[in-house]
Amino acid sequence: MRSASCLSVLGMAVMLGFWVNGSDGESICGAYAPGDIIIGILSSVHTDIKDLHFDLVTFVQFLASIHTIEMINDSGFLPGLQLGYLMCDPCGHATKAIQCVEQMLSINGSLTVLSDYSNFCPTVKTFLGERYSETSIPVARLLSLHKIPQVACTSSAATLSNKLRYTSFFRVIPSSKYQAQALAKLIRHFNWDWIGVVSLDDDYGKDIYEQFVPHAEKERICTEFHEVIPNYNNVKQHIKEVADIIRNATGRVVVLFLRIHHVEMLFEEMIKTNTSRTWITSIPWSMSRFLMKMKGINKVGDIIGTTFITGKIPGFEDYLQNLRPRPGARNDLIMEYKQMRFNCSQQSQHTSPLACNVTDPQEANDDYLLEAVDVTEAYSQRVAVYAVAHAMKKLLQCNDTACSGDTNFMPYEVKCML
């Protein structure tokens, strides 16, 4: 019974070449590769639904995931089996993230609705992502219903640790609870006891601020001001106002619970007026090369932060320098990146100075991604993909030469192995 229903779903997917469309024939997915087992990837390579800003850091994280999948396939880690993937870009937007998941779980523009998902057998067996807690939380609600595991690499909101609210959610980084504690201890270590806090009005900003307050109190750190920046509306104006508050405050230490592009906008304001402070944060933007390269960045003062696990991914630098989709795979994001980098007529901040010498942008390559992004930050993607691959190896009872299990398994079976 179980195998029969699984096979019919897979059959449909093979017909579509694993590419999914809505009922209206439109697809919002950006990349896929066929395989015996399909992993879903949610990755906000674009940071906004409207202006479609291309985020190189997320792009490299996404590439780290598919590179790791390809390495696993090449190494015969799951003997006789190939992992495939289907990727969709929620553009950092929660509603779009739900739409991505619905589309990735649908067949011919239709999502099966059940009263019990224990025997639900979609093509996508596990999801990786999303980057932001704001988008991971609604996805976690939806995937908990469908009993499909989700492994996130950067969503740190403490609430996601609650296994009764988010039954299918896993992550390879610690909860913001520990980050908040570490930051409070760091601030106390330097004997700073008079700080300002700026946080984002989203599920990440609210969560980490909530975690931070009791630790700050415990360390006898006083908060001079706490300002909240909206995620979407009128952001520039709000940042200007917050910049004024920072300039007029007496505290010289400011804690930032923001996304990197808000930090960039805030620093632009600070640089304009030569305002120097000590900046503290919990997310890896403190390592961001974009910030380090901002004109006048030396004027903003010191930046201190924690970061997630980093490491070297074997072969990844080579992969980035010779970037192209594997035969049989489709990757609209790589195409878009190459147009942006090597198309002489589409000048952007990322366009290569040699772009006008390039005949086919899709065939061109250079080491720009290695320069622009700290690729060791993408290490947690490798950890996440391997966690999923190990779970599947156990589930499919693989030995050194073959996997005896049925690849048409139910997603909740992977969950039990994670």
Shortest Å distance, C-beta 213 to a second copy: 8
SS3 string, 134-172, reads HHHHHHHHHHHHHCCCEEECCCCCHHHHCCCCCCCEEEC
Distance, in Å, from the CA atom of 414 to the CA atom of 150, rounded to the nearest integer, reads: 10
- 10 Å CB burial of residue 205 (0-12, 13-18, 19+) is buried
- Nearer to a second copy among residue 208 and residue 373 (C-beta): 208
Nearest approach, Cβ of 110 to a second copy (angstroms)?
5
Strands (DSSP E) along 180-252, which ranges?
Answer: 194-200, 222-229
Distance of closest approach, residue 102 Cβ to a second copy, in angstroms? 5
Pick the closer one to a second copy by CB: 61 or 159.
159
Q: CB 403 → a second copy: shortest distance, Å?
A: 29
Residue closer to a second copy by CB (options 29, 39) is 29
Which one, 27 or 362, has the nearer CB to a second copy? 27
Q: 3-class DSSP state for residue 307?
A: coil
Which conformational region is residue 5 in: left (phi greater than 0), alpha (psi within -120 to 50 degrees), or beta? alpha
Residue 399 class from Cβ within 10 Å (0-12 exposed, 13-18 middle, 19+ buried)?
A: exposed
Query: Which residue number, 132 or 316, has a Cβ lying nearer to a second copy?
Result: 132
CA–CA separation, 256 and 283 (whole Å): 9
Residues 6+ apart with CB under 8 A from 166: 137, 140, 141, 144, 159, 160
In the complex, least distance from residue 233 CB atom to a second copy, rounded to whole angstroms: 5
| Residues in contact with a second copy by the rule CB under 8 A | 22-24, 26-28, 94-96, 98-99, 102-103, 106, 109-116, 138, 141-142, 144-145, 159, 162, 164-165, 167, 201-202, 206, 210, 214, 226, 230-233
Nearer to a second copy, 49 or 271 (CB): 49
Q: How far is the CB of 142 from a second copy (least distance, A)?
A: 6
